Amino acid sequence: MRVVSFTVPAWFPSYETPGAQDTPDAQVPPQAQLTEQESAVFLCLATGASNRELAAELQLSVSTVKFHVVNIRAKLGGISRLQACLLAALARQDTRQDARQDTGLSDGGAAAGPR
């Protein structure tokens, strides 16, 4: 099993359950260790798809997707599904920017040469 590391931005608000203020468990951890399968589900969460849609895209059962989403949320400090979706969108954006830098591709700007 391969473990994927994901860093949570320092500015990202933590999910706090009522009465859980000032407890370390209510904080989003600075780094989460997701399995390869959890990472795939996590990155697909960025689309805002339902568990059924994620299951179809990843060729998994709906219960497996639910299992991974619960684990992802717990590993990220008990955040809501919406917060997990937002973090996944940030992670996908970072992944795309890293890929562009590695391959030398631009971000879709105008052509540099004359037409």
- Look at residue 51 and tell me if it is in a domain: yes
In this structure, are residues 51 and 69 in contact, taking their beta carbons and an 8 Å threshold? Answer: yes
Q: CA quadruple 80, 30, 45, 60: dihedral positive or negative?
A: negative
- Look at residue 16 and tell me if it is in a domain: no
- Look at residue 95 and tell me if it is in a domain: yes
Helix (H, G, I), strand (E, B) or coil at 32: strand
- Look at residue 34 and tell me if it is in a domain: yes
Helix (H, G, I), strand (E, B) or coil at 56: helix
What pLDDT, on a 0 to 100 scale, did the predictor assign at position 114? 47
Q: What residue type is assigned to position 97 of the chain?
A: Q
The gap from C-alpha 101 to its chain's centroid, in whole angstroms, comes to 20
- Look at residue 17 and tell me if it is in a domain: no
For the chain, what is the domain count? 1
Q: What CATH number should be reported for the domain holding residue 85? A: 1.10.10.10
Q: List, run by run, the mean pLDDT of 10-residue segments along the chain (115 residues).
A: 63 55 51 88 93 96 97 89 90 68 54 46
Spatial CA neighbour of 47 closest among 93, 105, 13: 93
- Look at residue 19 and tell me if it is in a domain: no
What pLDDT, on a 0 to 100 scale, did the predictor assign at position 20? 47
Q: Residue 53 sits in which domain range?
A: 3-11+25-102
